[in-house]
Amino acid sequence: MYETIKYEVSGGIGYITINRPKAMNALNGQVLDEIYAACTEIEKDDAVKAVILTGEGKAFVAGADIAQMNQLDAVGGRALMIKGHKVMNYIEAIEKPFIAAVNGFALGGGCELAMACDIRVASEKAKFGQPEVNLGILPGFGGTQRLPRLVGKGMAKYLIMTADMINAEEALRIGLVEKVASPEDLIPTCEKIAQTIMSKAPIAIGIAKSTINNGYDLDMRAASTLEIEAFTSAFASEDKTEGMTAFLEKREAEFKNK
Ligand code: HXC
């Protein structure tokens, strides 16, 4: 069904693998459409409780497809950017954890895709960068906005203006990734994180994700109000009763996503 990605579900985890290794998994319109379509499946499918997003071969994603962009006029470029933003925003809106398993180059739109995920784990072989200024453009899938929110304005300007490529260790140091693993441990590390999250109350996890994403840019008073309402939703769940009862009965909670 998909031509440029692989999508499979196993053990409650949805695996999206971007699969254009000959083009370093560059994001063309079709790849973006297919990631979006997989996200639609993920959103609907109760069997999927977490997502791991990775790339086939030596790249995670080496950016938007330069060959395709080269053919586009400004209107076409704008449409591609809108499509990219829709994908990134959709990943942020789905109330399930998305983990980027950054196996190799995460450049331009690839770094932006990783940043739209909730948690980033980098292989020791990963390389990060926003090299758009080499091409006469700037980040266009959210990089000018998400990068400063993750690493601070100064470091974001440094990375975007110099187009410097950084390694996994530096990415960890500046807060662009949350963990680094050896190449062979990359997916197992992501699976362990996914399984840990999946053992918690799903409603609380989903609401926590949306509250962090939706509250981040609000002023503190509005953000506090958002948290109170979000908290109240989780407080009304059966999982809250189960979680607290299990604690008091000194047993493991059995959450039912209700
Ligand atoms: C299209 C790409 C590509 C890309 C690599 N390829 N990146 N094709 N778009 N973003 C293709 C190459 O043309 C080449 O095709 C093949 O993949 C292998 O790449 P090589 O360059 O030969 O490999 P290597 O020497 O190992 O270098 C890897 C690399 C380099 C460092 C990742 O390919 C690179 O710098 N890529 C471009 C990175 C970049 O500028 N990204 C930002 C794009 S702009 P052939 O046919 O020759 O084998 C962007 C903007 C987002 O992302 C928002 C705008 C809408």
d(CA 25, CA 54): 10
Q: Residue 7, SS3?
A: strand
| 191 has catalytic annotation | no
Q: Would residue 139 be called left, alpha or beta, if left means φ above 0 and alpha means ψ between -120 and 50 degrees?
A: beta
Which one is catalytic: 34, 56, 92, 132? Answer: 132
Domains, the chain, ranges and CATH?
Answer: 5-198 (3.90.226.10), 202-248 (1.10.12)
Q: What is the pTM of this model?
A: 0.97
The residue assigned the tokens 């990734």 is 177
In Å, how far from its chain's centre is CA 66?
22
d(CA 182, CA 41): 30
Does ligand 1 come within 6 angstroms of the Cβ of 23?
yes
Closest CA to 4 of 45, 41, 39, 32: 32
Tell which one of 18, 20, 24 to mutate to probe ligand 1, the residue whose CB is within 8 A of the most ligand atoms: 24
Does ligand 1 come within 6 angstroms of the Cβ of 118?
no
* Residues of the chain falling short of pLDDT 50: none
Pairing of strands 127-129, 105-107: parallel
Q: How far is CA 253 from CA 119, 137, 169, in A?
A: 25, 51, 37
Determine the pLDDT at residue 158: 98
Does ligand 1 come within 6 angstroms of the Cβ of 84?
yes
Q: Whose CA is nearest to atom 11 of ligand 1?
A: 23
d(CA 258, CA 256): 5
Determine the pLDDT at residue 149: 97
- Please tell me the distance between residue 166's alpha carbon and the centre of ligand 1 in angstroms: 16
Q: Would residue 47 be called left, alpha or beta, if left means φ above 0 and alpha means ψ between -120 and 50 degrees?
A: alpha
User: 4 with 35: CB under 8 angstroms?
Assistant: no
Give 214's contacts (C-beta < 8 A, 6+ positions apart). 226
d(CA 248, CA 151): 40
pLDDT in tens, 148-207: 999 999 999 999 999 999 999 999 999 999 999 999 999 999 999 999 999 999 999 999
| 132 has catalytic annotation | yes
Tell which one of 20, 60, 66 to mutate to probe ligand 1, the residue whose CB is within 8 A of the most ligand atoms: 66
